[in-house]
Structures are given as C-alpha cells and as structure tokens.
Amino acid sequence: MQMSTISERLKSLGQELGFAQIGIAPAVTPTGFHRLLDWVSRGQNADMQWVDRRLEAYRHPDGVMSGTRSVIMAAMNYHDGEHTTEGPRIARYASGTADYHDVLKLLLKRLAALLRAEFPQSRSRIVIDTAPLLERDFGRLAGLGWFGKNTMLISRSIGSWFFLGAILTDIELTYDQPLEQTFCGSCTRCLDACPTKAFPEPGVLDARRCISYLTIEHRHAGIPEEFRSDLGPWLFGCDICQDVCPWNRFAPADTVPEFQQKLNFSTSECRSLLRLTEEEFRDRFAGSPLLRSGRTGLLRNAAIVLANLRDCDSRPELEVLLQDGEQILRETAAWAIQQLDV
C-alpha cells in the first residue's frame, strides 16, 4: 500500500472519530526546542521541574520513542458555543464530564490500530501532553496552525479551542506542508488583555505570572500577593487570551458530549469547596482535570476568588479554613477575610 493512501485513510478515520484536523509531520528536531532551552534558561518555566529533568528528551521524538519517523497530530475541538461570564470560572477545557487525556487516548488508539493492521511489525506510541514532546511544534509542522502571540497553536478554520494528541510511529508516512506563515498581523489583544502581564514579548509566556500556571501547577505554595487580585474569578485555569482572540470567532460550536460545558460554579458552590476534606475532594473530582490542582490548590484558589468577587457570605467558611491543617490555606483564608473587610 502506498504511504499516501494510508495517510489519507488515517485522516478520514480521524474525521469519523470526531477530530477537527489531522496532520502528519516528519520526526525532526523542531525549531521550538531552541526556544524551549531559552525559556528554561530564563526561569520562565517557574517550578515545573519536570521540564528541566527531561529537557534533552524534547530535542527529538526519539526521546519519547526510539526510531520514530512520523508524528501524526490530531486536533479535537472542545468549544461548544456556550459562554460563561459571571461568577467563579474554570477554563473551558476542564468544564466537561471527563478528563481529555482519557477521551483522546481511546480515540487515538483506534487510529493507531489502523497502522498496526496495515503494518503488523510497526511500533507506535500515543502522546497527550504527558511525554517530552513539543506537540504545538509538531502541530505546526503538520500544517494544523501557527503560533499565536499568546503561544497557542491557532488554526484558520477552528481557532485555538482544541486539544492536541499525537501518535509517534516508526513508519515513514506522507507528510503535510508546515504552516510557515502567521496570521496574527498587528493584533495584540491577547497580550493586552492578560491581567498579570504574563507575556513579556509576543510568543513568550512567563509561567511565573500566568493565571493557568498559578491556579493549577503552582499547587504546593501560596499564590504571590501581587497576583491574587488579578486572578479575578479564575478558580482553575484561565481563558482570557483565547476569549479575546479574533480567530476564535471561527471556532466550531459543537464538540463530543464529554467536552460540553457541565462543570460551572456559582459563588455558593464555590463556598462549599472550602469545607471539602481530602477524601471528599477526591471523590467529587475523580476523573476531572480539576483533580490536578489538589485539594490545597483548589481551596486556596476558591478563597482568593471569593475575596475578589466580594462575597461576604463566604466569611464563615473562610473562618473555618483558618483552622485547616495546611498552612497555605490558613494564610490565604486570612488574606481573603482581610480583603472582605476593606
């Protein structure tokens, strides 16, 4: 079978499975690897130490699977057309009923099965942002989009509300043309809208100032006071730079049921978070991306959000949090109460 035929069959099956775009790139050292080295050298990866530990592995897909020759990139839209603008907010990608890692892995397994059926001796590996692979770089190399000034991969047809998954294979498939051009022009809406000024320059994100990083990955420490008010209503993650992107007016308004927005919080529901025990937290958010922040991180965020929303009814819950076993939560609760008193 010709490689162009199997490549087209992969794309056809991908569309049947619900992927918005499928592209194929060669296994090479992406240009983004050198930007990654510079980013880490500046300390802009904050305390995400797993990047430092696996830095060399990002150089080439061989760092994930030896003998990789092709990288199949799949984009799954998670935009459902609904817009939440009031009350506590969580990032759109995390508001569905399932963890995107689980959903994409099952679908990508079906794509990989097509390869194994045609090439029984071949090897493949599925990657969904848990291995040292620069997915956005390979998405660009596969022709899916370009790097926006907010560092997101942006597609002319579907915007940036999409997950990326990859299949590494030792088969040399037919490659798509990389998208060399960018289409942001002189627009700086994403840079201007960021309340914490997390973009020191176009295309560079300083994680130390990023609301998504602070509310999710920075879960074992308190959020610096200089950023707390700027968090606004963001309980988990942040969508500001995507909300304002003009290209997202082209985002489809349909997605798989698992990614439709279901998990939204009223202020009263946000208050209830402050009373969760560790066991209750794990039970409530089992299978949800919110589990990533941990109980300490999510309750810390909730206390800050309630203070930012001037929710004086949260005082009893905040006072209970003053007695919590976690010093981070005690300190954040004290700060939140002080803000409500201002």
> Among all residues, which ones are annotated catalytic?
129
- Cα of first residue to Cα of last residue in the chain, in angstroms, is 72
H or E element that contains 243: helix 240-243
In a 3-state reduction of DSSP, which class is residue 281?
A: helix
Residue ranges in 147-219 assigned as alpha helix (H)? 189-193, 211-212
Indicate the DSSP class of residue 210. Answer: -
Q: List the one residue out of 321, 293, 295 whose CA is nearest residue 307.
A: 321
Tell me how far apart the alpha carbons of residues 53 and 51 are, in angstroms, rounded to a whole number.
6
In a 3-state reduction of DSSP, which class is residue 21?
A: strand
Inter-CA distances, 65 with 114, 125, 126, 236, Å: 19, 7, 10, 32
Indicate the DSSP class of residue 175. Answer: P
Q: Which two tokens stand for residue 219?
A: 């879960």
Return phi, psi of residue 25, to 5°. -125, 155
Return phi, psi of residue 8, to 5°. -70, -35
Indicate the DSSP class of residue 325. Answer: S
In a 3-state reduction of DSSP, which class is residue 247?
A: helix
Distance from CA of residue 245 to its chain's centroid? Answer: 16
Tell me how far apart the alpha carbons of residues 20 and 75 are, in angstroms, rounded to a whole number.
6
Inter-CA distances, 239 with 125, 210, 221, Å: 30, 11, 22
Inter-CA distances, 115 with 64, 69, 109, 276, Å: 19, 13, 10, 46
